[in-house]
Structure 1
Amino acid sequence: MKGFPVICILAIFSFCYFSLFPGSKWRFYCPGCDQRIIHPHTIIHPSHHRLVNIPREDKTNISHILFGIGGTASMWSRRRHYCELWWKPNVTRGFVWLDNEPALGDEPWPQTSPPYKVSADTARFKYTSWYGSRSAVRIARIVKENFQLGLDNVRWFVMGDDDTVFFTENLVNVLNKYDYKQMYYIGGISESVEQDVEHSYTMGYGGAGFAITLPAELVRILDGCIDRYAELYGSDQKIGGCMSEIGVPITKELGFHQLDIRGSPYGLLSAHPLAPLVSLHHLDYLQPLFPGMDRVASIRKLMNAYKYDSGRALQQSFCYDLTRNWSVSVSWGYTVQLYPFLVRAKDLNTPLQTFLTWRTWSQEPFTFNTRVLRMEPCERPVIFYFDGAQELGNGNTVTWYRRPQSMQWKQCDRNNFAAAYMVKSFNVSATYLNSRLWTKAPRRQCCEIMGGSDHQDGHVRVRIRGCNRWESVTPP
């Protein structure tokens, strides 16, 4: 009995400590509790009084996403090549929803394409848009038809068109920023103001793709919404109207690209927003990303860079060679712009206008600033395009960029351009961009010209890296 007072004192001390400091690693529990916490990921089972480990919940991965792709039987043979650039059989989950059974003849459905399903008849629904197509009704219901399949372990329902190219690793990283147990509606708006005014600033545009969690509430009211918004042109407008009724606003992510532009997307993609590249749309209506290539081959080339470092694709960095007064802007995996004069950071960060608006083919307005691409050769950058990549080990890569022979424009005869025209290629080294950077406060990475002014071999070496403290891109 001599030790009894000591035991009592220890028991009282323990009770006070763990009650007053509930955030400590080990917590006090009482015999009557249903679930007594010992550790953030361990409980005592109430009936057996033993420790049971609870596994930490996995992050969202590609298997948690169910894609719903809007397509037509008549266009699939032409559009399938875009889907097949990003679709991975037995990895990616989802379906392309067609208006009719495809006319395959004796040929089987391509194994490289998403499996298909035929949408239910929508003749009973109202559609009164005088300039649109009733297919908007069918495509709006894809999210409901996908949901009603009852597939297991789906956290996100992602919608897109048959000419939407998704960059799935980046899509997963973006969605991991959000709690899938809450209701989210994530996407992007149009680049052309005239489209946003006509359709909406507050919806996810369907060609760029959008993602929805917990779609049961949307599914419950969707059919009624379609009739209530019968005058709206597009399926994405109808979904946007329904989400307004639920009270869930669009969460805008800058990497979803509707590409409601005409001409060349070069200017936009060479000064990509500071966000992961998630999707590209309307590729059939734009010039190829790379000169001298067709559209599909052009996207395939971009994806060849993307597979080396998915998060870094199209990420812009710029720096100066002050010995030559050069300004260099790198859009990783796509292009390098060399200006044989000093250009301010704000200007380098503003897209060159190589495109017009979607509907009226006008010079403006857009939802972002642009700068004029001058026709005078002495005011234009010398442009190099991605030509290849190599993995160096330990998470390091090198990409190289060359001037295309098919784009030999009139040259500037000023002395400061002479050395620039002697450059044959840029070799850009970088370390794999950790996806966790996208969960932190955004900051563009820095770059530096390696080797000073020694570019006698015609190959300029650039290193992209995280910025140092107090570092800025400031010309003298």
Structure 2
Amino acid sequence: MSKPRDSLSSLMKLTLSLSIFTSLALLLLHIKPAPQQYTNKNFIKFLHQTPQDAHPERPIQRQTDTNISHIVFGIGGTAKNWKYRSRYTEVWWQSNVTRGFAWLDEPLNLTESSTRSFIPVRVSEDTSRFKFTCSYGSRSAVRIARIVLESFKLGMEDVRWFVMGDDDTVFFMENLVDLLSKYDHNQMVYIGGNSESVEQDVIHSYGMAYGGGGFAISYPLAKELVPVLDGCIDRYHYFFGSDERVGACVAEIGVRTIHEPGFHQVDIRGSAYGLLSAHPTTPLVSLHHLDYVEPLIPNKTREDSLRALHRAYKRDPARALQKSVCYDLQRNWSVSVSWGYTVQIHSRLITAKELLTPLQTFRSWRSWSEGPFTFNTREESDDTCEREIRYFVSDVEGDGEGHSTSSVYKRFDEGEREGCGDGAVVPKSVDVAAVKMDPLEWIKFKAPRRHCCEVINEHEEETESSVLQVRIRKCKLGESLTLPPEIS
């Protein structure tokens, strides 16, 4: 058993230790640590910057819906070709509504009464100081690559997007606005499309947005791009195109390309029918290179066929070219509708997978070969008797707000079908296809579903001048394009 004296001594030692510990703790609280000594002054500056000091930004805009007034267009062209090419811009440009300029290499001769100047025109800055070493290209690529820079320097107010295109690019404005509304314009965003021809993507880039089909750059990305663009253009002096230069400069900033299938470079030769009649389930945004393919509608000029398509588009923008497939099981017909453009009637039952695959009515852009393309294609038969009968839009009625629309498509015969047999001859009795579209709101961008359709006069007796009536409507729950087992 310990003695009381020993216990008292231990208690005093413990009390003394606690007092010393407490005193040291209080002393440390009042001592400020000496600053670390860094030799890199830039690093010290970086440590003391606030995010706003490091990269000052314009005030965040109110989150109102994006509309046409928030877009500035930069259209690249030449004074020499403007008289001819401007007819494409005239189709979609809305005077006093659309903002932007056509950027040309020299002033227009406005004394010519036929010169179209409905879109404001500006002359690009001199670019002779820049390097250009591409042996098979044109120096105009340097000038056109700088359109985004020159557009930004104009200092226009309330700009969310800069959209670039060529003088032969046709934009489908309402759909473009809806598409851009999907994205946050306060972030750095770069949107466009690929080339359809693999050979073009291999030579130039899979990763860029092709300029002819048009591409969009958000304001924050343009602000980041402008200070470095000229040096970047010089660095890539060996590139062919303006879009290739811009794509490389955006990649250096670290922004990825967002590919949207509604942008169409139309890097194909021949007929674009197969491509457009099997449009992906996404709104049509642009068309390019229409001078290099056959007229979109046979027996019409390029300009007249484009205007016919555009008139239909204006009636119901989001659903233009959207494809629906249905069957007339009574007559063993397959019917497909690419709304506002064409109707096809096949004299046999064909699976939906085949009908939704583009007919290869075209060849590749560079070598005029059979492919490859960036999408699957199906072969077009050389036998007229095996081909579908095609109908092209002739009239559309609607209010342009997605309500009920009626469209009429007239038959186009590609060749004689006499002696083809009953199966191929029967559809010839249909001269006109009439398509009724139900008033429904298509959810354009949130996992859209292809519309369903049905033949509504399949039991009527045919006459020499009959009309095939088709209704496009919302698909029912559990409905699919499945053929009966004995057929499929």
TM-score computed with the length of structure 1 as normaliser: 0.85
| Unpaired runs of at least 5, structure 2 | 1-60
Q: C-alpha distance in 2, partners of 1:387/1:119?
A: 41
Which one has a larger percent helix, Structure 1 or Structure 2? 2
Contact 1:311 1:433 in 2 (8 A): no
Q: C-alpha distance in 2, partners of 1:237/1:434?
A: 38
How far 1:264 moved relative to its partner? 0.3
TM-score computed with the length of structure 2 as normaliser: 0.83
Alignment match, 1:148: 153
Alignment match, 1:166: 171
For residues 293-326 of structure 1, give each alpha carbon's deviation from its aligned partner in whole angstroms, at most 9, with x where no partner exists. 1111110010111111011110000010111111
State whether structure 2 residue 319 is matched by structure 1 residue 343. no
Equivalent residues in 2 for 1:28-47, closer than 5 Å: none
Alignment match, 2:18: none
Q: C-alpha distance in 2, partners of 1:88/1:440?
A: 28
How far 1:78 moved relative to its partner? 0.6
| Paired letter, 1:175 | L
Alignment match, 1:442: 448
Between 138-147 and 426-435, the greater mean CA deviation after superposition: 426-435
How far 1:179 moved relative to its partner? 0.8
Equivalent residues in 2 for 1:157-306, closer than 5 Å: 157-213=162-218, 214=220, 215-306=222-313
Q: C-alpha distance in 1, partners of 2:191/2:106?
A: 29
CA 1:412–1:433: 2 relative to 1, 3 Å:
farther
Q: C-alpha distance in 2, partners of 1:223/1:296?
A: 37
| Paired letter, 1:128 | T
| Paired letter, 1:273 | P
Alignment match, 1:475: 483
Q: C-alpha distance in 1, partners of 2:258/2:102?
A: 25
How far 1:378 moved relative to its partner? 2.6
Secondary structure, aligned partner of 1:257:
coil
Alignment match, 2:474: 466
Equivalent residues in 2 for 1:2-81, closer than 5 Å: 57-81=63-87
Alignment match, 1:402: 410
Secondary structure, aligned partner of 1:398:
strand
Q: C-alpha distance in 1, partners of 2:79/2:298?
A: 31
How far 1:410 moved relative to its partner? 3.7
Alignment match, 2:365: 358
Contact 1:311 1:434 in 2 (8 A): no
Alignment match, 1:378: 385
Alpha carbon RMSD of aligned pairs, Å? Answer: 1.7
| Unpaired runs of at least 5, structure 1 | 1-54
Secondary structure, aligned partner of 2:79:
coil
State whether structure 2 residue 99 is matched by structure 1 residue 88. no
Q: C-alpha distance in 2, partners of 1:193/1:223?
A: 29
Q: C-alpha distance in 2, partners of 1:158/1:433?
A: 30
Contact 2:83 2:115 in 1 (8 A): no
Q: C-alpha distance in 2, partners of 1:312/1:394?
A: 8
How far 1:204 moved relative to its partner? 0.5
Q: C-alpha distance in 2, partners of 1:239/1:384?
A: 41
For residues 251-272 of structure 1, give each alpha carbon's deviation from its aligned partner in whole angstroms, at most 9, with x where no partner exists. 0100100000000000000000
For residues 169-198 of structure 1, give each alpha carbon's deviation from its aligned partner in whole angstroms, at most 9, with x where no partner exists. 010011111111111100000000000000
CA 1:331–1:455: 2 relative to 1, 3 Å:
farther
CA 1:56–1:250: 2 relative to 1, 3 Å:
closer
| Paired letter, 2:452 | C
Equivalent residues in 2 for 1:310-321, closer than 5 Å: 310-321=317-328
CA 1:412–1:444: 2 relative to 1, 3 Å:
farther
Aligned residues: 419
How far 1:404 moved relative to its partner? 2.8
Contact 2:75 2:102 in 1 (8 A): yes
Contact 1:309 1:433 in 2 (8 A): no
Contact 1:377 1:412 in 2 (8 A): no
How far 1:465 moved relative to its partner? 1.0
Contact 1:274 1:442 in 2 (8 A): yes
Taking only the aligned residue pairs, the percentage that are identical comes to 55
Q: C-alpha distance in 1, partners of 2:186/2:461?
A: 54
Between 423-432 and 274-283, the greater mean CA deviation after superposition: 423-432
Q: C-alpha distance in 2, partners of 1:239/1:281?
A: 19
Contact 1:449 1:462 in 2 (8 A): yes
Q: C-alpha distance in 2, partners of 1:82/1:397?
A: 26
Between 57-66 and 230-239, the greater mean CA deviation after superposition: 57-66
CA 1:411–1:186: 2 relative to 1, 3 Å:
farther
CA 1:412–1:367: 2 relative to 1, 3 Å:
farther
